[in-house]
């Protein structure tokens, strides 16, 4: 089972993948945005097939106030179409601050030749790396949330089982003991 994390931008699509047990998100690649959703899907379909992707985790860019603004609605529309065309389920994850965190993980841009500003190729490579890292953060956040939810569910099940066991023990302890009375046989032949 593999999940694909997606950080959708206006120019690029950062991707991360989570495979194995337990799954852990790792950066995968950055794709250029195409002229249409169908063209984006053609690029994604190859990766989905190669990696055995079973679900997409899409970063949803909520506004700072927490509401779903125009960019989030646009992302949701794109993702819904991608999910439909790829026939894959979608999960949405709040991506606020992921680019900022990703930039921190990637670090400062490298200097260009002779200590000057970064070259256009260096700037492009860094932006692509930041997009992949943001997708990784989105996907790992989703995995962590699922892990916490699963652990909470197991804790609830264990608590329910423990309570049932205590109830059985209490019922057993409070039940009157049966006196040892010899069994009486009834002879049905008479």
List pLDDT tens digits, range 22-75: 899 999 999 999 999 999 999 999 999 999 999 999 999 998 898 999 999 999
Q: Is residue 28 part of a domain?
A: yes
pLDDT at 3 over 80: yes
User: Which of 80-89, 93-102, 181-190 is most confident?
Assistant: 80-89
Q: What angle do CA 146, 151, 157 make, to 5 degrees?
A: 125
Contacts of 131 (CB under 8 A, 6+ apart): 7, 9, 12, 13, 14, 30, 102
Contacts of 166 (CB under 8 A, 6+ apart): none
- Considering the entire predicted model, what is its pTM? 0.73
Q: Is residue 140 part of a domain?
A: yes
What is the per-residue pLDDT across 109-158, written as a single tens digit (0 to 9) for each?
Answer: 676 667 777 788 888 887 888 889 999 999 999 999 999 887 766 666 66
Pairing status of strand 2-8 against strand 53-60 = parallel
Paired residues of 14 in beta bridges? 7, 30
Which pLDDT band, with edges at 50, 70 and 90, does 20 fall under?
confident
**CATH number of the domain bearing residue 60:** 3.30.420.140
Q: Is residue 120 part of a domain?
A: no
pLDDT value of position 190: 47
Question: Are the C-beta atoms of 13 and 132 separated by less than 8 Å?
Answer: no
- H or E segment to which residue 74 belongs: helix 70-86
pLDDT at 84 over 70: yes
Q: Is residue 157 part of a domain?
A: no
Question: In angstroms, what CA-CA distances link 184 with 52, 78, 180, 181?
Answer: 69, 80, 12, 9
Question: In angstroms, what CA-CA distances link 171 with 116, 168, 176?
Answer: 80, 5, 10
Q: Is residue 167 part of a domain?
A: no
pLDDT at 13 over 60: yes
Q: Which domain holds residue 15?
A: 2-107+127-151
Q: Is residue 184 part of a domain?
A: no
Q: Is residue 69 part of a domain?
A: yes
How many folded domains does the chain comprise?
A: 1
pLDDT at 94 over 50: yes
pLDDT at 102 over 60: yes
Q: Is residue 173 part of a domain?
A: no
Paired residues of 3 in beta bridges? 18, 55
Query: Which value, to the nearest 10 degrees, does the dihedral of the CA atoms of residues 64, 68, 72, 78 take?
Result: 170
């Amino acid at each position: 089972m593999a999940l694909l994390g997606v950080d959708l931008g206006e120019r690029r699509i950062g991707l991360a993948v989570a495979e194995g047990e337990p799954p852990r998100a790792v950066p995968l690649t950055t794709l250029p945005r195409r002229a249409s959703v169908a063209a984006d899907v053609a690029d994604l379909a190859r990766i989905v097939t190669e990696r055995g992707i079973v679900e997409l985790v899409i970063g949803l860019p909520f506004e700072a106030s927490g509401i779903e603004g125009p960019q989030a609605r646009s992302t949701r529309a794109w993702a819904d179409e991608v999910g439909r065309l790829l026939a894959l389920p979608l999960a949405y994850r709040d991506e606020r601050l992921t680019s900022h965190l990703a930039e921190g993980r990637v670090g400062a841009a490298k200097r260009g030749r002779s200590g000057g500003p970064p070259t256009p190729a260096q700037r492009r490579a860094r932006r692509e790396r930041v997009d992949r890292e943001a997708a990784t953060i989105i996907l790992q956040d989703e995995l962590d949330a699922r892990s916490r939810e699963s652990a909470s569910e197991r804790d609830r099940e264990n608590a329910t089982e423990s309570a049932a066991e205590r109830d059985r023990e209490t019922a057993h302890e409070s039940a009157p003991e049966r006196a040892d009375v010899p069994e009486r046989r009834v002879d049905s032949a008479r």
